[in-house]
Structure 1
Amino acid sequence: MRYFVDADRKKKTARINIGENPDNLSPEKLLKLEDRVKSSLASDYLPCPVAWHVAKEAGVSRIAVGAVADRLGFRITDCRLGCFSVDKIPFKDEIRDNIPAGLIAALEAYREKKRIDCPEVFALAERFGISPLSVSKTAAASGLKVLGCQLGCF
């Protein structure tokens, strides 16, 4: 287990600054959220899908869960978009062949920015009835960078 330490925090805050309590939760609610995060760990890591579930169950934003995990020193793993995970999933050409043509056209709207944010990936996945991972991998293969993590990881 590699904890999220000061060196990691410094590197991350150079890119993203979400603060320690982005939802301005009361001390009591913040303590409950910390307990939920701790009880949801898998081998001292917080998997991305579990973090989403914690946010929904606690009635807080996903970014608040990410901030608590950072503050407590726990790493978030298994990104639903494949940006980071324990086991990397290589992008296969045959997967891209099964991607709806409309998705490729929809991704063109992001070509000028050269990036697509996490919430947009999930919206496209829902729109086209495919997994967020498929959208993310197709975006990456199209030269787009996936940014704007809803948990504040990237």
Structure 2
Amino acid sequence: MDALVERIRSSTVNGRLPCPAAFRIAAELGITPLEVGEKATQLGIKISRCQLGLFGYDDLGSKGVVTPMKDVPERLKAEITAHLVDGRLPCEAAWEIAKKLKLGKVQVSGAAEALGIKISSCQLGCFS
């Protein structure tokens, strides 16, 4: 069994691979997160605990945990708007915005939700 398969299988929780674990595996093996996501899919293992809060929270009784932000600060709105691709915010851009503005990733997706903007292009390949 190759190292990637072994790492994915040993990192599952309740038969699913948490998003943070997938990113950790990618960093440790020096591969892209997409490679980890694709291999998990080939193995029939679903990704859980999306770090943007979009999916994989079935154990909490809901698909995702994102709630629209009540008041989106202008700076955050400007960053989101500047990173749109075809009217959507790519996952990787949401992560970059969170890091730049020192916000939680779920805060960025909550702001996008409040602005009526969908997140696209999951770095693990879960959605386009």
**107-116 vs 43-52, which deviates more?**
107-116
- For residues 79-125 of structure 1, the C-alpha deviation after alignment (integer angstroms, 9 at most, x for no partner) is 01111021332515xx533x543001222235672201011001100
- Give the counterpart of 1:109 among 72, 82, 87: 82
Kept after mapping to 2: 8 A contact 1:77/1:85: yes
Q: Distance in 2 between matches of 1:50 and 1:111?
A: 27
- Give the total of aligned pairs: 122
Q: Residues 112, 36 of structure 1: CA spacing in aligned structure 2 closer, same or farther, 3 A cutoff?
A: closer
Q: Residues 112, 52 of structure 1: CA spacing in aligned structure 2 closer, same or farther, 3 A cutoff?
A: closer
- Give the counterpart of 1:74 among 16, 23, 45: 45
TM-score (norm 1): 0.72
Amino acid at match of 2:82: A
Post-superposition shift, 1:147? 0.7
Matching residue of 2:122: 149
2:67 matched to 1:91? yes
Structure 2 segments unaligned to the other structure (5+ residues): none
Mapping 1:1-150, distance limit 5 Å: 31-86=2-57, 87=60, 88-91=64-67, 95-97=69-71, 99-110=72-83, 113-150=86-123
TM-score (norm 2): 0.86
- For residues 5-64 of structure 1, the C-alpha deviation after alignment (integer angstroms, 9 at most, x for no partner) is xxxxxxxxxxxxxxxxxxxxxxx8xx1100110111111110001110111111111001
Q: Distance in 1 between matches of 2:91 and 2:85?
A: 17
Q: Residues 71, 111 of structure 1: CA spacing in aligned structure 2 closer, same or farther, 3 A cutoff?
A: closer
Post-superposition shift, 1:133? 0.9
Between Structure 1 and Structure 2, whose CA radius of gyration is higher? Answer: 1
Amino acid at match of 2:122: C
Structure 1 segments unaligned to the other structure (5+ residues): 1-27
Amino acid at match of 1:91: T
Q: Distance in 1 between matches of 2:85 and 2:38?
A: 30
